[in-house]
């Protein structure tokens, strides 16, 4: 017996600032109506990956699913834009559940900041001088010094973004792993990163933080002049993305690994 398809009766439409996205917003609201985000069963995001991440971030505490329609540039996290059959597409969509990373950063002056990342937490040098970092995994020192432009810890959902550009691995959603990827390593030259269990707690210490300042970012949220950064997956928060069955996130990640 086939399970009944979900029906989402209350839809909220959101759009990026791009003119084509704003035009699509007006047409979609005219065709399907719209409610406030706080009243919605599902949110349809018209834009690019940036809008998808921004919308997921707003709803990571209530778990409202987001169905993206590409009106941006790359749109890796979005479905193909089409105005017809929207209700049927949403009802038949495949859900991908992701969990964010929680970053706790301590600045040189002792200030503590907490941010949440959907794609990755990254550390980058702030000046022309390379960063000197130390890496701990579950409080065990794993690398006592790495000299590089930076490091990043990526979720499976973020593994095809900045992580892939830094030559990190693509991670399927259900693999239970995080990618620890260096950026422009000077020493040790042969170290290319590591795959870590998602339950791990990762801590970076900045060596010579005063002379070689480093900034930490949770996606686009930046903290400058950090002395240490601790990261772990936040399993208490879940975000749900909806994809057309033939365009699931797992399928896109698999296809990306065979792209030429």
Q: Which residues are bridge partners to 240 per DSSP? A: 97
Helix ranges, the chain (H): 19-32, 49-58, 86-92, 162-165, 249-257
Q: Is 32 annotated for ligand binding? A: no
The residue annotated as part of the active site, out of 23, 49, 62, 234, is 49
Q: Is 179 annotated for ligand binding? A: no
CA distances from residue 65 to 91, 94, 178, 221 in whole angstroms, order as listed: 12, 11, 23, 23
Q: Is 165 annotated for ligand binding? A: yes
Q: Is 157 annotated for ligand binding? A: yes
Strands 11-15 and 42-47: parallel
Q: Is 244 annotated for ligand binding? A: no
Q: Is residue 158 a contact partner of residue 187, using CB atoms and an 8 Å limit?
A: no
Q: Is 154 annotated for ligand binding? A: no
Instruction: Return d(Cα 35, Cα 18) in angstroms, integer.
Output: 21
Which tokens is 231 given?
């990261």
- Alpha carbon 238 to its chain's center: 12
Q: Is 119 annotated for ligand binding? A: yes
Q: Is 71 annotated for ligand binding? A: no
Q: Is 104 annotated for ligand binding? A: no
Told to judge if 88 belongs to the known catalytic residues of this protein, a careful annotator would answer no
Q: Is 164 annotated for ligand binding? A: yes
- Alpha carbon 115 to its chain's center: 13
Catalytic residues: 49
Which residues participate in the annotated binding site for NAD(+)? Answer: 49-50, 119-120, 149, 157, 160-165, 221
Which residues participate in the annotated binding site? Answer: 49-50, 119-120, 149, 157, 160-165, 221
């Amino acid at each position: 017996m086939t399970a009944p398809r979900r029906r989402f009766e209350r839809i909220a439409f959101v759009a990026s600032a791009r003119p084509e996205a704003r035009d699509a917003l007006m047409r979609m609201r005219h065709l399907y109506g719209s409610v406030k985000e706080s009243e919605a069963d599902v949110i349809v995001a018209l834009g690019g990956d940036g809008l998808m991440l921004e919308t997921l971030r707003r709803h990571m505490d209530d778990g409202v699913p987001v169905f993206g329609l590409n009106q941006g540039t790359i749109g890796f996290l979005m479905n193909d834009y089409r105005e017809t059959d929207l209700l049927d597409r949403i009802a038949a969509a495949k859900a991908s559940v992701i969990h964010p990373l929680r970053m706790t950063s301590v600045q040189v002056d002792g200030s503590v900041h907490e941010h949440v990342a959907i794609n990755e937490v990254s550390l980058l040098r702030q000046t022309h001088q390379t960063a000197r970092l130390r890496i701990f995994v579950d409080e065990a020192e794993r690398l006592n010094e790495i000299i590089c432009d930076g490091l990043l810890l990526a979720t499976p959902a973020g593994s095809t973004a900045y992580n892939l550009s830094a030559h990190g691995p693509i991670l399927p959603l259900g693999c239970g792993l995080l990618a620890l990827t260096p950026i422009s390593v000077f020493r040790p030259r042969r170290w290319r990163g590591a795959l870590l269990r998602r339950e791990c707690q990762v801590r970076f210490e900045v060596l010579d933080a005063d002379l070689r300042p480093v900034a930490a970012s949770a996606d686009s949220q930046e903290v400058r002049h950090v002395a240490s950064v601790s990261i772990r997956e936040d399993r208490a928060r879940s975000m749900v993305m909806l994809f057309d069955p033939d365009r699931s996130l797992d399928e896109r990640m698999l296809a990306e690994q065979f792209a030429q």
